[in-house]
Amino acid sequence: MNASSAPNPSLSPEQVRQFHEQGFLVIPGFYDLAEDIAPIQKGVHQIIGQVLKRHGLPDTRGPFQPATFDEGYQALIAANRAHGGEVYDAIKQIPAFLRLLGTPAHEALFAQLRADAIPAIAAGGYGIRVDNPGEERFRAPWHQEYPAQLRSLDGLVYWSPLVPVTPELGPVRLCIGSHHDGPVPVHTRDPRNPDKTGAYGLILKDEEALVAGYEQVAPLSNPGDLVIIDFLTLHASGRNQGQRSRWSMQFRYFNFNDPTGMKHGWKGSYAAGVDFATVHPELCLDA
C-alpha cells in the first residue's frame, strides 16, 4: 500500500479483531518502499554525510542505496559516540519522515481501531530509534506507552523498521493480550540502571512476575511493514547482538475524545517536560 496516496486503508474484520484481542497487529508491506520509505532512508544517508563533514571526517561511502543507507554509521559512532547522538536528533527532522507521520493512512487506521475517535498526532511522540549493537543505555525496559507519553489512554504506536529486523538485531518483544489488564503502576527510577532517566527509568511494579504471566512474541519485520501497538500493551526493546544498528520509526497517535485524556487536558509526558507523577500520582509508586 502506498500510504501517501491511500487515505483509507481498511483493515479486515479479522485484523481488527486480532488487534483488540492481542493488543498489537503486524501489517506486512503497509508502506510503499519507493514512495514512503526510501526517501527517509535517503535523508538518513545525507545526514550521516553532513555529520561526517561537520567533524572533518572522510566520507568514503558509495552513493545512496536503500539497502545500505546507514553505511558509515558504525565507524562514525566508533570515532565518537556523541556523533551518533547528532544523527539521532537530526533524523526526526527529515521532511519525508514528517510527511509520513501525517499521512492520512495513519488517521484512517486510528479511526478504524478506536470507535468515535478524534485522532491526533502526539507532539514529541515521534522519532527514529537507533538501537546500536551491545548498547544498554537507551534500550527500553518493559513498559506501557501510556505513562511515557500520556495524551490519551487509548493511543497507538505505529512502529516500522528501516532495516530488516533479524533475531540478532533484537526485535521488540510484546506481551500478548497484556493491554486488557489496564495501566500498571511504576517506579520512576531504575536502581539497576541509574543512568536511565525520564521514560527510560520507569520500571513496572513487580516487573519480572508481571511479564512472566503473559505469552511473549518478538515479531520479525522488514522495511515497509507496520506494527501497531496499543498504549497499554507491555513491550520492551530486544538486545541488539548484531553488527548493524536497528533503525526504526515510531509514530504515535492519540484520541482527543478519550475520557482520560479529556480529564487531564491531553498532557504529554517526559518529552513535553511533564513529570507524569503529577498527572497520575495513583500510578506512581514513589510519588
Residues forming the site for Fe ion (CB under 5 A): 145
- Position 248 contacts ligand AKG (CB under 6 A): yes
Count of CB atoms situated within 10 Å of the CB of 214: 16
Residue 59 or residue 89: which is nearer to ligand AKG going by CB?
Answer: 89
- Position 159 contacts ligand AKG (CB under 6 A): yes
What is the CA angle 164-165-168, rounded to 5?
125
CA distances from 179 to 15, 21, 95, 149, 191 (A): 17, 9, 33, 16, 26
Interactions with ligand AKG, residue window 135-154 (CB under 6 A): 140, 145
CA distances from 9 to 88, 110, 219 (A): 30, 10, 22
Residue 2 or residue 193: which is nearer to ligand AKG going by CB?
Answer: 193
Q: Smallest gap, in angstroms, from Cβ of residue 194 to Fe ion?
A: 21
**CB under 5 to 8 A by kind: which of Fe ion, ligand AKG, none does 121 bind?**
none
Residue 120 or residue 202: which is nearer to Fe ion going by CB?
Answer: 202
CA dihedral 230, 235, 237, 242 (to 10 degrees): -90
CB neighbour list of residue 34: distance below 8 Å, 6 or more residues apart: none
Nearest to Fe ion by Cβ — which residue? 145
- Position 235 contacts ligand AKG (CB under 6 A): yes
- Position 129 contacts ligand AKG (CB under 6 A): yes
What is the CA angle 58-139-181, rounded to 5?
150
Q: Smallest gap, in angstroms, from Cβ of residue 57 to ligand AKG?
A: 28
Give the closest residue to 233 by CA, choosing from 3, 18, 27, 28.
18
- Position 172 contacts ligand AKG (CB under 6 A): yes
**CB under 5 to 8 A by kind: which of ligand AKG, Fe ion, none does 159 bind?**
ligand AKG
Contact between 242 and 236 under an 8 Å Cβ cutoff? The reply is no
Contact between 84 and 76 under an 8 Å Cβ cutoff? The reply is yes
Out of 144, 250, 255, 269, the residue judged to bind ligand AKG by CB under 6 A = 250
Residue 52 or residue 94: which is nearer to ligand AKG going by CB?
Answer: 94
Q: Which three cell numbers stand for residue 138?
A: 537507551
- Position 240 contacts ligand AKG (CB under 6 A): no
Count of CB atoms situated within 10 Å of the CB of 23: 25
- Position 283 contacts ligand AKG (CB under 6 A): no
**CB under 5 to 8 A by kind: which of Fe ion, ligand AKG, none does 269 bind?**
none
Q: Which residues bind ligand AKG (CB under 6 A)?
A: 129, 131, 140, 145, 157, 159, 172, 235, 237, 248, 250
